[in-house]
Structure 1
Amino acid sequence: MHMPDQLQAVIEQRLGAPLITVTPMGGSFGAQLTRVHTQGVSYALKWATRGPARAMVAAEADGLRRLADAGCVRVPQVVAADDGTCGIAFVLSEWITSNGMEPDQAVLGTNLAQLHRTTQAAFGLEQDNFLGGTPQVNSWTPSWPTFFRECRLLPQIKLAVANGFLTTSRHAALERLVSRIEEWLAIPGEPALIHGDLWSGNLVGLADGTPILIDPAVSFSHREAELAYTELFGGFGPRFYAAYQAAWPLEPGYAERRDLYNLYHLLNHLNLFGLGYATQVDQIVRRYVG
């Protein structure tokens, strides 16, 4: 999609220089990604002109800034952002060039454990944001089981009902599971700042192996939820987990809770991409409630 002239003018004003090249890089969930180049420097520009995608872009800028402010993990530096006051929401950040370099997973494990020590008084965030293209509820909640039920599982279940993805039996089983959530998640742990969408596609490496995290869905959640998602689709090796455990060991029983955390992400994939994820949802629900 062609970048609007209005947006180009704003970006040039923010950078104080004309754009030399503008290269569309595709889009997702209504937002467009463009690589812009000026005065020997490239930037990543994500933008949206309408609908929920505008809020999604603004939330990404907020998430990148929060992670950068914590000072524990490396993320693309936000150069400029606007939540839509100019008519178009955008986030302009440094362009990350990895040249296919594998990120140092031991460094990532250590740094992620440090990030998770950034705490808050309750679970949630000052505002809602997005997981992929799905709205993510972040209402402040003092209880982790209550937060995970009310702000994570129930909104996804409600959306799956609206999308027609829940059979009567699947819906009933999910309702049984959420009604018993305290049985599994009444565990110690302060609210931890998490990236929130940490799968291998959101991890890149600089030429020196420095790990870079992109596309966050931040919140203050239980740190176990972050580690669980890294295991769902793979891409994180033994050095990552060993380094994390050395920096901050996980609580006993994590392995028994892991699939429950990933139910949130599988329900989100069900809602975003369809019934291909229904079998995995059913398998997890059966594990916990039969």
Structure 2
Amino acid sequence: MGAVPHGQPTAADGPLDAAARFITARALRHRPLSGAVGAVDLDDGRTVVVKWGDGPDAVRAEAAGLRWLARAGAVPVPAVHGHDEHWLIMDPVPDGRPTKQGAVRLGRELAALHAAGAPAFGAPPPGGPREASIGRAPMRNVPGDDWPTWYAEHRVLPYLRTAVDDGTLRPREAAELERLCARLPGLAGPAEPPARLHGDLWNGNVLWDADGRAWLIDPAAHGGHRETDLAMLHLFGCPDLDRVLDGYQEEAPLADGWRERTGLHQLFPLLVHAVLFGRPYADQALAVARAAG
């Protein structure tokens, strides 16, 4: 599906051209939705979503991530029709609203998604690139054997260094976070196998269909610790989060102390946001380090 049937595309290709390369029905019209995302109406009555990517690695990573999550047969994700180096073509998610029952179901399905596993911490989805992204920020998928070491080396410290270089964090403040990274093996809780993570599970990437069931979009999928997805849901909010967690715990109880570890798992997204958006997120990361003692 990743090959281009009619020759290599160019950046000048529009969304109708992109849809035509992967859909047998004729593309009739394009409707912008938000940012780089639009809807293309087809002559057979269907609609597909067309998304412009920030380079071939970003498009390939998202397509591979969606397919990897779909193979778990757990939380629904949009079906991918195809992609090239600029465009990703996928199904839309039906519009709806969250429900309390849907929140519990999301928790159960997230547990099943995580249980599908990954080859290693940091492992990319099959066919996905090593150099991926989370939102507009780079994210390197480098496999590791134990979560605390991998998380510090490939998630926290690279963004910590960038935040210092940009002047968002002072060197003495960065030292506090470096000391926390050194202590992670004793703070991370019991060892767990690598989970299949969505990887960017904030509220905006959880959509609800007409039946109140949650769908996941825009993954930064990789192998990681299952508490990381849950910590990001907590960081940026999710409807009926307590019910989501109840459903999760019914299917796959979390290890004792997971609530106290939430901040550790939030360090990566906080530092990503500090680099992208500035000091307030750096302050939150520092608060995590100081709360850890």
Tell whether the structures are fold-level matches, with TM greater than 0.5. yes
Q: Please name the residue that 1:249 is paired with.
A: 253
User: Contact conserved, 2:19 with 2:40, CA < 8 A, in 1?
Assistant: no
Tell me the equivalent position of 2:32: 24
The reply on whether 1:64 has 2:69 as its aligned counterpart is no
AA of the residue aligned to 1:146: T
User: Letter of the aligned partner of 2:95 in structure 1?
Assistant: S
Cα distance in 2 for partners of 1:234, 1:116 equals 20
The amino acid across from 1:92 in the alignment is I
Q: Secondary structure at the match of 1:112?
A: helix
Q: In structure 1, what is the equivalent of residue 93 of structure 2?
A: 96
RMSD between aligned residues = 1.9
Tell me by how many angstroms 1:53 deviates.
3.9
Q: Please name the residue that 2:138 is paired with.
A: 135
The offset of 1:122, in angstroms, is 2.1
Contact 2:189–2:257 under 8 Å retained in 1: no
- Could you tell me which amino acid in structure 1 is paired with residue 121 of structure 2? F
The residue number in structure 2 matching 1:113 is 111
- Which of 190, 210, 218 lines up with 1:187 in the alignment? 190
Identity within the alignment, %: 36
| TM-score for both structures, normalised by structure 2 | 0.88
Given that 1:121 and 1:142 are in contact with CA atoms closer than 8 Å, whether structure 2 keeps it comes out as no
Given candidates 261, 264, 270, the residue that maps to 1:260 is 264
State the Cα distance separating 1:101 from its structure 2 match.
Answer: 5.0
Aligned ranges 1:1-290 → 2 under 5 Å: 4-5=12-13, 8-27=16-35, 32-39=36-43, 40-48=45-53, 52-82=54-84, 84=85, 89-100=86-97, 102=99, 104-126=102-124, 127-185=130-188, 187-237=190-240, 238-289=242-293
Q: How many residues align?
A: 275
* 1:18 Cα deviation after fit: 2.8
1:25–1:34 Cα contact (<8 Å) kept: yes
- How much has 1:99 moved relative to structure 2? 3.9
CA distance in 2, matches of 1:121, 1:56: 21
Can you give the 5+ residue segments of structure 2 that lack an aligned partner in the other structure? 1-10, 125-129
Deviation at 1:242, TM superposition (A): 0.8
Mapped contact 1:36–1:42 kept (Cα < 8 A)? yes
Runs of 4+ in structure 1 displaced over 6 angstroms?
none
Structure 1: segments with no counterpart, 5+ residues = none
Give me the whole-angstrom Cα distance separating, in 1, the residues matched to 2:232 and 2:13.
Answer: 40
